[in-house]
Amino acid sequence: MSRTYRIIPADCADYRRLAERRLPRFLFDYIDGGANAEHTLTANCADFARLRLRQRVLCDVSQLDTRCQLFGRTLSMPLTLAPLGMAGLYARRGEVQAARAAEAVGVPFSLSTVGICAVEEVHAACAQPCWFQLYMLRDRGAVTALLQRALAAGCDTLLFTVDLPVAGIRRRDIRNGMLDAGWRGRLAKATQLALSPHWLVDVGIAGKPHHFGNLADRVADPSDLTAFKAWLDAQFDPSVSWADIHWLRQQWPGKLILKGILEPADALRALQCGADGIVLSNHGGRQLDSVASTISQLPGVASALDGRLPILLDGGVRSGVDLLKALALGAQGVLIGRPWAWALAGAGQAGVQNLLEALRNELAVAMALCGVSRIEQINAELLEPCQAG
């Protein structure tokens, strides 16, 4: 006989289960899914699991410290919340809740161009400015205006996403009617919404407005979501190229980080273009399926850059142990995407905060058992030999 126990969430997987219970199916799958057959999505996590650490003993780890310096700030650990589109649909005013949780734990929050809450709303809710993520739009006037708003809200770090000249194919979104504005799509979504009454009241009704806050001034009627989405789809600019980085560099006085670099040659190009850092990323396996996992690409990219540019990594980080492995292979920090989305959907601000604290604790314990006390001491020697690329 099966019994249901009420558990206290202890890791990402627990929050994922909670999120699955709360969210309408199309939203859960939007977060959870990847591109095409999801090979890269799977590899991102599996390749972390394959790496083996080395246990060291009798190292006096009584003064353990997970703090680090990243882009001019002291963080409680080398981790940032990745930009996620539409987080205001995962929970009521979701970006604000997640940004508050990040601030409480002492790590940055990144706001997506296509967040539900505008940069001003997030700014008003927090003392620390967030990082801002930009997708290039055809209307460069709109981009300039967006950057001005981010600057006015105190943002000092821009993540410019370079791995989405076109949107990847996400089969779960097709099946769930996410991309179908006709009657079949409406019927599919309505059926799923009817099965999520808690979300419907808490987020669907009480969490309005649901338009993309950073872009609402660009369309005549932001509450007309179909027209809004059509405008946005037409705005994504597939002609974006390295020349735009030079243009962007002139527009943005703060730190400029290129997000979505996967190959050593592109990392070197980012260096030449004057970027201040890169996020080694395959968009969480949501763009080109069958590309390599990010953790498997890290040694090659780190070796090409040879310390000349900070590397953040995302894709598949699910624990403090994974964070330690990424640092050991040459990253200066990581971003987490789905984990914070699941925690937010499952338990709101408190959930994100609890998850972040659990990750920090896992990192501290893993450091101690590997015999290191400070982030700067983490290097490839913590891994079994022959795994450093």
> What residue spans of the chain are helical by DSSP H?
12-22, 25-32, 39-50, 94-105, 119-125, 140-152, 171-175, 183-194, 197-199, 225-235, 242-251, 264-272, 294-305, 320-328, 338-370
CB of 59 to ligand FMN, least distance (A): 31
Q: Count Cβ atoms below 10 Å from residue 144 Cβ, excluding itself.
A: 13
CB of 213 to ligand FMN, least distance (A): 13
CB nearer ligand FMN, residue 279 or residue 372: 279
CB nearer ligand FMN, residue 54 or residue 138: 138
CB nearer ligand FMN, residue 284 or residue 372: 284
CB nearer ligand FMN, residue 156 or residue 314: 314
**Backbone torsions φ then ψ of 144, nearest 5 degrees:** -60, -45
Sequence letter at residue 169: I
CB of 293 to ligand FMN, least distance (A): 10
Which residue's CB atom is positioned nearest to ligand FMN?
337
CB of 179 to ligand FMN, least distance (A): 15
DSSP code at position 236:
B
Whether the bond between 209 and the residue before it is cis, its omega within 30 degrees of 0, is yes
Using alpha carbons, list the distances in angstroms from residue 53 to 217, 286, 328, 376, 384: 50, 29, 9, 17, 6
**Backbone torsions φ then ψ of 21, nearest 5 degrees:** -70, -35
CB nearer ligand FMN, residue 151 or residue 258: 258
Size (the chain), residues? 389
Sign of CA dihedral 350, 356, 358, 364: negative
Instruction: Measure CA 115 to chain center.
Output: 12
- Report the interface residues with ligand FMN, using CB under 6 A: 30-31, 44, 82-85, 112, 114, 133, 161, 259, 281, 283-284, 286, 314-317, 336-338, 341
Using alpha carbons, list the distances in angstroms from residue 114 to 160, 232, 233, 279: 13, 9, 11, 19
Please tell me whether residue 257 adopts helix, strand or coil conformation: strand
CB of 187 to ligand FMN, least distance (A): 23
CB nearer ligand FMN, residue 31 or residue 366: 31
- Note if 210 is an active site residue: no
CB of 386 to ligand FMN, least distance (A): 26
CA distance 25 to 136: 30
CB of 167 to ligand FMN, least distance (A): 11
Active site residue: 123, 210, 211, 283, which one? 283
Sequential DSSP letters for 179-224: T--SHHHHHHHHHHHHT-HHHIIIIIITT---S-TTTGGGSS-TT-
CB nearer ligand FMN, residue 294 or residue 353: 294
Task: Assess contact for 131 and 314: CB atoms under 8 A.
Answer: no
Task: Assess contact for 208 and 39: CB atoms under 8 A.
Answer: no
| Residue positions annotated with a catalytic role | 283
